[in-house]
Structure 1
Amino acid sequence: MEPESTIDDIIKSVQKFRILSIGRFGVGKSSLVSCVFGITGARVSHLKPGESDIEQEFISQDNPFFVLHDSKGFEPGEITNFDIVREFIEQRSQQGLPLKDRIHGLWLCTKTPAVGGRVFEIGDEKLLEFAYKI
């Protein structure tokens, strides 16, 4: 007799794997969403921060098991979007929330730094520290 697969149990309870895309403006979050998920609804802007709605779910027709939320890019000195992302993570991490509605992963998009540059921006570090604590 073979033991039951725990992966099958997890997939049944999760139903969909929910990912939040985060990072600075201009690093290619929406382009990545469009390319990987084949979704044209992710607005790509090369001149100003995109108008992403963090509550909007992007689901790939090729693999409906994944659900992606695309956040608006962070800008230096701007905290409003940082707070929106932090609140979204808090809401989607609550113990009482059904497992299928929680955030299961963060997709941090960054630029490759120049020699001697910071690997992560301070806002990225703070957000990752916050998410780790939850």
Structure 2
Amino acid sequence: MGRANAGKTTILQRVCNTTDEPEIFNGEGGKVCMVECIQRGYHNVGDELVFKSNPRFVFHDSCGFEAGSEEQFDMMKEFVMDRAKTTKLDERIHAIWYGLCPTP
């Protein structure tokens, strides 16, 4: 999670040793259209981002908070709390990165 253009996807690409864009799936496993996902500020934190080169890692991306509403922040908080409460290991969050852009 973090500000828009903070380099969140770039960090994930480095972790997975790839330059490919991630595939994005909704909670039911259906592929999400990339046109919706590349629009600035559009991210559903419940969608799963997976790189073909390393499908064992599943990532979730939040909206950039600097332009987001309190509602968007609350949605992210609820997602994190729900995942923290689950007993299913494959639905738990194992790491959270918070990225900040340097101010000019």
Please indicate, yes or no, whether the TM-score normalized by the shorter chain is above 0.5: yes
Determine the C-alpha separation between the residues in 2 that align with 1:100 and 1:112.
Answer: 34
- TM-score between the two structures when normalised by the length of structure 2: 0.67
The 5 Å alignment of 1:27-46 reads 27-29=6-8, 31-32=9-10, 36=13, 38=20, 39=22, 41=34, 43-45=37-39
The 5 Å alignment of 1:56-75 reads 56-75=47-66
Deviation per CA, 1:75-110: give whole Å up to 9, x if none.
Answer: 26831111011100000001x420111111012111
- TM-score between the two structures when normalised by the length of structure 1: 0.54
Equivalences, count: 87
Q: Could you list the runs of 5+ residues in structure 1 that have no partner in the other structure?
A: 1-21, 115-134
Amino acid at match of 1:112: P
User: How big is the shift at 1:61?
Assistant: 1.2
Structure 1 runs of 4+ aligned residues shifted over 6 Å read none
Amino acid at match of 1:44: I
Higher radius of gyration, 1 or 2: 1
1:99 aligns with 2:78: no
Determine the C-alpha separation between the residues in 2 that align with 1:76 and 1:59.
Answer: 25
Amino acid at match of 2:92: R
3-state SS in 2 of match to 1:107: coil
Determine the C-alpha separation between the residues in 2 that align with 1:44 and 1:23.
Answer: 16
Partner residue, 1:23: 2
Partner residue, 2:74: 83
Deviation per CA, 1:20-73: give whole Å up to 9, x if none.
Answer: xx01234243x537x71622648334xxx4211111111111111100001111
Moved more, 53-62 or 76-85: 76-85
Determine the C-alpha separation between the residues in 2 that align with 1:106 and 1:50.
Answer: 19
Structural RMSD (CA): 2.6
Q: Could you list the runs of 5+ residues in structure 2 that have no partner in the other structure?
A: 24-33
